[in-house]
Structure 1
Amino acid sequence: MSSLALAVRDSSTMVRRNLLHVRRYPSMTLNLLLTPIMMLLLFVYVFGDVMSAGIGGGADRSGYIAYLVPGLLVLTIGSTVIGAAVSVSMDMTQGLTARFRTMAIYRGSLLVGHVVGSVLRVLAGVALVGAVAAAIGFRSADATAVEWMAAVGLLTLFALALTWIAVGMGMAVPNPEAAGNLAMPLVLLPLVSSAFIPAGTMPGWFQPIAEYQPFTPAIETLRGLLLGTEIAWCLVLTVLGHRWSQALFNRGPK
């Protein structure tokens, strides 16, 4: 069997292991998904009319739903990938990573399993939040099939980027609790982006914080269902996260 075939086989095994953990212990994933769903319902039904009027859509929450949902989908990615940081940290602290290093398997398969499993979990969460949004009135009839494919591609790429960052965070700390705390900015940054209101309506001193961070470009690109230079954020984060995670993983015994 070739080296590539062995790598694919071992990585597939690790992905299957990761997904089995999700099935056996679904509480963490469900808890992470509750945050964006509750925020969606809160902002639509409690603040929807006021927020819609504030962004120039009139006192009609349907206009605000269209503005809010792309931001909530990106926030869902940020909140769900925390599970990857915690899962990697658990493997490190319980000795499983050290054990896998001694086995005759593809060295990077453990990280691939965590990353691919996390991305699949994130996309399932995005689909769930999207379904709730559609149930309460979100519509995007103007988007073409190509634009929908572009939107799904952007969400997948952004999930991949943040997952690699989360994996690095999980290996950089001593325990799962610290991993969850270190990954909290992935949930907090969307709150200070253009997810809920346009960056231009924020105080002048605060606008650069909202504009020059990875979540706002991803949200605005998703809103327009267009692919542009903003995707460079996703590519940069993916490369940096992968290199950081791989470097931390390779510090262990050969």
Structure 2
Amino acid sequence: MSAPVTDTATLDRPRLVADSATMLRRRVRHLRRYPSLTIMLIGQPIVFLLLFVFVFGATMGAGLAGPGGGRDAYLAFITPAVLLMTVASVALGTAIGVATDMTEGVVARFRTMAIARSSVLTGHVGGAFVQTAAGLVVVLGVALLLGFRSGAGPLAWLGVAGLLALLTLALTWLTVAFGLAARSVETASNTPMFLVLLPFLGSGFVPVDSLPAGLRWFAAYQPFTPVIDTLRGLLGAGPGSGAGLGTDAALAVGWCVVITVGSLLWSRRLYEARAAR
């Protein structure tokens, strides 16, 4: 086994940026050459959106907003959760991409080249941002076609974009760590699945107050609930939106920062350990 190359490029910031840009282009080319994975990841939240609006929308909407509610009310209520699920779904693809690189010898080849080793991971993160942005545009477009409307102003939409960017950064680095920790691509594809399911155990599809006591406690304190409630408040989507927005926003940003920092440190330790083998 060849000796590991010292990552001196990390000391050269322009070199690190250039190498990261190269890895980003590599990741984007992969997305273009294999669009089926992107379609599957983006299609999943769209299927949930259509299913819940057309199958459960009339009944659930009436329960949310009284006799005057309906599918439109429920569509407004669940759209923030579906946007969050889109971010989580794309992050799952990042875990697969990282695991593929680690198990197919790509990183071993990069070790023989004079590049910043960290640029391999930052390329995946950058590619995830591109893929997530495309997914959010598509999912939001479908919601608008179904009748979703928001009275949010430019600053509120900027807040939505900023929070979704923070969430993307947090979940992407978390799934990077999952991909590094996985011993196979199959494991990497399964480990992050709970991220897609967590909105169902929060305020994503029903009000937290309607849940049984034990589940209500979990739903109230899990990370995705304040994120969904903040998005709902910014968009003015659903009954009671905007109530406690300041507290929810602080919790949402706090969770995103904690997950990002913890996952970044975990990813770095895992990557250095595996790259040194």
Partner SS, residue 106 of structure 1: coil
Corresponding residue number in structure 2 for 1:35? 44
**Pairs within 5 Å for 1:63-74:** 63-74=73-84
Identity across the alignment (%): 46
Cα deviation digits, residues 129-165 of structure 1 (max 9, x gap)? 0000001100002x11011001001001101100000
Work out which of the residue numbers 269, 273, 276 in structure 2 matches 1:247.
269
Work out which of the residue numbers 106, 117, 126 in structure 1 matches 2:127.
117
Determine if contact 1:101/1:253 at 8 Å carries over to the other structure. Answer: no
Corresponding residue number in structure 2 for 1:176? 185
TM-score, scaled to structure 1: 0.96
Judge which range, 85-94 or 204-213, deviates more.
204-213
Corresponding residue number in structure 2 for 1:216? 225
Work out which of the residue numbers 95, 99, 103 in structure 1 matches 2:109.
99
Q: Does 1:136 align with 2:143?
A: no
Name the count of aligned residue pairs.
253
Determine if contact 1:199/1:211 at 8 Å carries over to the other structure. Answer: yes
Determine if contact 2:64/2:73 at 8 Å carries over to the other structure. Answer: no
Determine if contact 1:57/1:63 at 8 Å carries over to the other structure. Answer: no
Output the CA distance in 2 between the equivalents of 1:117 and 1:172.
20
Output the CA distance in 1 between the equivalents of 2:103 and 2:46.
32
**Pairs within 5 Å for 1:17-56:** 17-56=26-65
Amino acid at match of 1:110: V
Amino acid at match of 1:81: A
**Pairs within 5 Å for 1:6-21:** 6-21=15-30
Cα deviation digits, residues 63-122 of structure 1 (max 9, x gap)? 111111001000111111110000000000001112212311112100000011112211
The offset of 1:220, in angstroms, is 0.5
The offset of 1:55, in angstroms, is 1.6
Output the CA distance in 1 between the equivalents of 2:183 and 2:161.
35
Determine if contact 1:57/1:64 at 8 Å carries over to the other structure. Answer: no
- The structure with the largest helix share of the pair is 2
Output the CA distance in 2 between the equivalents of 1:199 and 1:73.
19
Amino acid at match of 1:247: R
Corresponding residue number in structure 2 for 1:149? 158
Determine if contact 1:167/1:245 at 8 Å carries over to the other structure. Answer: yes
Output the CA distance in 2 between the equivalents of 1:188 and 1:203.
18
Corresponding residue number in structure 2 for 1:192? 201
Amino acid at match of 2:250: T
Judge which range, 210-219 or 152-161, deviates more.
210-219
Output the CA distance in 2 between the equivalents of 1:114 and 1:144.
33
Determine if contact 1:37/1:132 at 8 Å carries over to the other structure. Answer: yes
The offset of 1:189, in angstroms, is 1.1
Cα deviation digits, residues 23-65 of structure 1 (max 9, x gap)? 0001111111111101111111111110011223434211111
Cα deviation digits, residues 176-213 of structure 1 (max 9, x gap)? 00001111111111221111011111111111111111
* Gap regions ≥5 residues in structure 2: 1-8, 235-244
Larger radius of gyration: 2
* Gap regions ≥5 residues in structure 1: none
